[in-house]
A and B are shown apart, each in its own frame.
Chain A
């Protein structure tokens, strides 16, 4: 399971503040804590408010690189910010993300290849997020076909079926689990999948419980990566236990410690 820590995001007040005041220690702490808690990769988002997102991305990555060489997921809708991020972060980074439109794929797939980066492909296009699971599968197949055509290794491609909040689109939660299972039929070996988990509990009163319950359900449906808050210990423990019960790791009495010792 690829665990991507979501906490370095200018949308959060503490990070926004750190960016404004150039407080490096807040970013250092967030990077180290997430990795210690079991994150494999850190998502980096300059946030919605900054005047110069490129400069913010540069500062964030350079600040993180002072404490860790861990791979980074460059989270931006702006192409120049993504490219700068990939350049600074080095090989093994991730592009978060591209939509499934041809004109987007024609840019982002070669970009991922050029920087030896992983790529998150969203099953949505300029028409928006499809409700119909068949359309989601169709878009997933389109993304994968494009990657194959352009020689991007499929193990570097993560399909994101887009989690919607339970209090906005309740029926979509169960539907998405079906989609995860159906994605497996698209290719052999099956494509990798990722979700932005916390979205499911947006605006609810039980965020942590909803997040971890849904994560376990998604893992059981074949999910292979998730953007999460790794400092939510109960969430991480539930995920580690779900993977154990699916026979992905070998049991021992201290299996939770063992996971963190990887």
Chain B
């Protein structure tokens, strides 16, 4: 007698999140990106649906990240010095689904670039590229509240995804994104209780839950990734049985975490036993990303083109329902 596997059936689905707006919707994107809508744990396509495949955003900075390891800078060449050129290369050559622009240079302790300059860059970026855009602040609360609010206003109608809104700093960004009809990233520090709370705080202001992406924090392979994994899994299981305050798609910043660790970044001269960093680094990033896909990631924010290619191949394969 054939063995019949038990199949889970869930009563609720993950929200559908749409980033970007085409002309008819008041924006100028060639097409929008849609994620979420799952009625099953990742890739268990016999148990439920995954109507929208996970997507890969490539992360670029407003200022050249010269602190990046050479193995990560190399594939982009001179483009890292010009964000628009860099973004175009990511889209045209490396097939990024969308672009994540991190306004790192606006940080008061970095270049302290003004809000005016940031707005100019964002507007120019939207003019030059046709994919949807994720816009991330520098991490300085006060400066972000100024810069991101201004960028939100300047991009009204484009339905960008702005971040990060955290428990101790969300009101200004939520108000801006609500006024200008953008999506928002709800950030929490590897804590499911706070993740739920931030979603409640944001929706209490009248923000639509289906315009929220959750960032449950990211950790690299070997550095607590399994903890993030377990939080994402618990959150999904709660959402599937009806917890609407945990039913948001996940955005995961793989690149910034994977390239922080020495196992990805160290060069072979310093660590002769670890092999060529040109292969090792992208592998580290791809392995982290694929694990996050299995935890439920909907938008992966990545850096190295080879890691991006590997992960996109993985998504193709898993969406077909096989693991070749």
Q: Which residues of A contact B (CB under 8 A)?
A: 249-254, 257-258, 261-262
B258 interface residue per 8 A CB criterion: no
B124 interface residue per 8 A CB criterion: no
- The residue on A at minimum CB distance from B235 is A250
**A191–B56 alpha-carbon span in the complex (Å):** 45
**A212–B264 alpha-carbon span in the complex (Å):** 57
Contact flag A258-B196 (CB < 8 Å), given A250-B234, A250-B238, A250-B243: yes
Q: Decide: B197 and A254 in contact? CB cutoff 8 A.
A: yes
Please give the distance in Å from A71's CB to the nearest CB on chain B.
Answer: 14
- Which range contains the number of B residues in contact with the other chain? 10 to 19
**A222–B203 alpha-carbon span in the complex (Å):** 32
* Interface SS of B by simple majority: helix
- The interface residues of chain B lying within 8 Å CB-to-CB of A250 are 192-193, 196, 234-235, 238, 243, 246
- The interface residues of chain B lying within 8 Å CB-to-CB of A257 are 200, 204
- The residue on A at minimum CB distance from B209 is A261
**A91–B194 alpha-carbon span in the complex (Å):** 38
CB pairs A–B below 8 angstroms (16 shown): A249-B238, A250-B238, A250-B243, A251-B193, A252-B193, A252-B195, A252-B197, A252-B200, A253-B197, A254-B200, A254-B201, A257-B204, A261-B200, A261-B245, A262-B242, A262-B243
- The interface residues of chain A lying within 8 Å CB-to-CB of B194 are 252
Please give the distance in Å from A256's CB to the nearest CB on chain B.
Answer: 10
**A8–B27 alpha-carbon span in the complex (Å):** 49
> Given known contacts A254-B200, A261-B244, what 9 new A-B pairs fall within 8 Å (CB)?
A249-B243, A250-B192, A250-B238, A250-B246, A252-B196, A253-B193, A254-B197, A258-B200, A258-B245
Q: Decide: B203 and A261 in contact? CB cutoff 8 A.
A: yes
**A250–B243 alpha-carbon span in the complex (Å):** 8
**A53–B195 alpha-carbon span in the complex (Å):** 50
Please give the distance in Å from B202's CB to the nearest CB on chain A.
Answer: 12
**A253–B243 alpha-carbon span in the complex (Å):** 15
Please give the distance in Å from A41's CB to the nearest CB on chain B.
Answer: 15
- The interface residues of chain A lying within 8 Å CB-to-CB of B245 are 252, 258, 261
**A6–B245 alpha-carbon span in the complex (Å):** 28
**A261–B243 alpha-carbon span in the complex (Å):** 9
Please give the distance in Å from A6's CB to the nearest CB on chain B.
Answer: 23
Which of B194, B197, B234, B245 gathers the greatest number of chain A CB atoms within 10 Å?
Answer: B245
- The residue on A at minimum CB distance from B201 is A254
1/0 per residue B203-246: CB within 8 Å of A? Answer: 11000000000000000000000000000001100100011111
1/0 per residue B30-59: CB within 8 Å of A? Answer: 000000000000000000000000000000
- The residue on A at minimum CB distance from B200 is A254
1/0 per residue B104-142: CB within 8 Å of A? Answer: 000000000000000000000000000000000000000
* Of the residues A251, A252, A262, contact of B244 by C-beta under 8 Å: A262
**A69–B30 alpha-carbon span in the complex (Å):** 40
Please give the distance in Å from B99's CB to the nearest CB on chain A.
Answer: 32
- The interface residues of chain A lying within 8 Å CB-to-CB of B204 are 254, 257
Q: Which 8 A-B pairs have the closest CB atoms?
A: A252-B196, A252-B197, A254-B200, A252-B193, A251-B193, A258-B245, A250-B238, A253-B197
- The interface residues of chain B lying within 8 Å CB-to-CB of A252 are 193-197, 200, 245
Please give the distance in Å from A175's CB to the nearest CB on chain B.
Answer: 32
Please give the distance in Å from A3's CB to the nearest CB on chain B.
Answer: 13
- The interface residues of chain A lying within 8 Å CB-to-CB of B195 are 252
Which of A251, A252, A261 gathers the greatest number of chain B CB atoms within 10 Å?
Answer: A252
**A250–B246 alpha-carbon span in the complex (Å):** 9
Which of B192, B196, B203 gathers the greatest number of chain A CB atoms within 10 Å?
Answer: B196
**A85–B312 alpha-carbon span in the complex (Å):** 54
- The residue on A at minimum CB distance from B12 is A262
